Amino acid sequence: MTVHFILSGETLESISEEINLENPKYLKEFHNAHCAREDIIKDRIIAGKKLLLPDFKTIHEYNSRNDAPCKAPELNPDIPFSPEEFSKIYTVTINETEENALEKKNTRLTYTASVKWVRKEGTSHIFNVYKNNFFDAKGSMMSDLASESIRALNPFIVTTNEKGEILNIQLNENARNHFERIKDRLLDLFPDPYAAMYLDEFEFAVMNRDLFDRKMKEDIFMNLCFASLRNRFKNGKSFLRQFIEGENIWVDLMQKVEDRTDPAEIILRQNEILYSDPHIAFDGKYNVLAATGLVKKAEVSYTVTREDIKTSTSITIE
């Protein structure tokens, strides 16, 4: 038995998680069975007071009862990935705010992304992904060029594993074989020296297969639509990684089921970063079709603070 002094913000649930006790009710039960009368917990724990913690053997005995709420089947779904004949046009909305002590800048980008299942090869699935209808609220020549350049490469060939995780993203053969023609057309549309520099860099990234694959895996839509949502749940949790564009970093997240009220959908929440970084906050919510495991809707937001600059990004895919 160990004596723990309760910290501000701690709950029976959070302390139970720290000591690997699956059912928080036993923490209260253990404490009340061994504490002085004046220390008995009635409703909730109070910061600054003592809490008696069970030893490893007692925790193991409690866990062996398998009666923790986190073990409920609805909180540990086996999410399938059955994309055969799938075809859907998503609307993607990206809002970004960058602020410091002096100013605040807002940007907004929308586009459509069409995902179409093509075939299965062994255990892998092949998709065509088209990006169209770009709209930048603060449109500029360079943003128009970037949008037109992406459209010129449609469709992107996405290969996933049996769980819907991206294995690779390739340029379609028509775009690869005729890229010079595509580039010439873009130069005609954007006769500007900065556009020419952009297209030279664009060509380098596109024609280098490994670089193209890596860059596309970091693309906001690709990363969110084909996220590792279907990893195995245990005790109400599964784990995945998400990419934060702009910062070029991956964050490791815990995922939980938020709601199973509608049997046709599973609502997943990702808002706990495993290796906590005080400069990053992440919150993700997915509506997944229970029968196929495919994404119906995703809402993701994250905030990154570096020195005196705070960048907030919110993304909706539906």
pLDDT above 80 for 102: yes
pLDDT of residue 101: 83
The per-residue pLDDT for 277 is 79
Instruction: Give yes or no for residue 259 having a pLDDT over 90.
Output: no
CA end-to-end span of the chain: 51
Cα separation, 1 vs 313, whole angstroms: 45
User: Confidence class of residue 54 from pLDDT cuts 50, 70 and 90?
Assistant: very high
What are the pLDDT digits (tens) for 269-298?
Answer: 999 898 777 889 999 999 999 999 999 999
Q: Which pLDDT band holds residue 249 (cuts at 50, 70, 90)?
A: confident
Higher pLDDT, residue 7 or 246: 7
The yes-or-no verdict on residue 245 having pLDDT over 90 is no
- Of all residues in the chain, what percent carry a pLDDT higher than 70? 100
- What is the pLDDT averaged over residues 185-204? 95
pLDDT at res. 43: 85
Radius of gyration over alpha carbons of the chain, in Å? 25
Beta pairing partners, 313: 96, 302
Residues composing the chain? 318
For 302-317, the pLDDT digits (tens) are 999 988 899 999 999 9
How much is the average pLDDT of 206-210?
A: 96
Average predicted confidence (pLDDT) for the chain: 95
Q: Which token pair is 176?
A: 């690869």
Residue 34 pLDDT level (bands cut at 50, 70, 90)? very high
Average pLDDT over residues 255-280: 90
Q: Please check the confidence at residue 137 and state whether its pLDDT lies above 90.
A: no
**CB-based contacts of 259: which residues, under 8 Å, 6+ apart?**
267
Query: Which of 88, 163, 85 lies closest to 124, judged by CA?
Result: 163
What amino acid occupies position 223? N
Could you tell me the residue ranges of all domains in the chain? 2-71
Cβ-based burial of 126 (10 A; exposed 0-12, middle 13-18, buried ≥19): middle
Task: Yes or no: say if 303 and 246 are a contact pair by the CB < 8 Å rule.
Answer: no
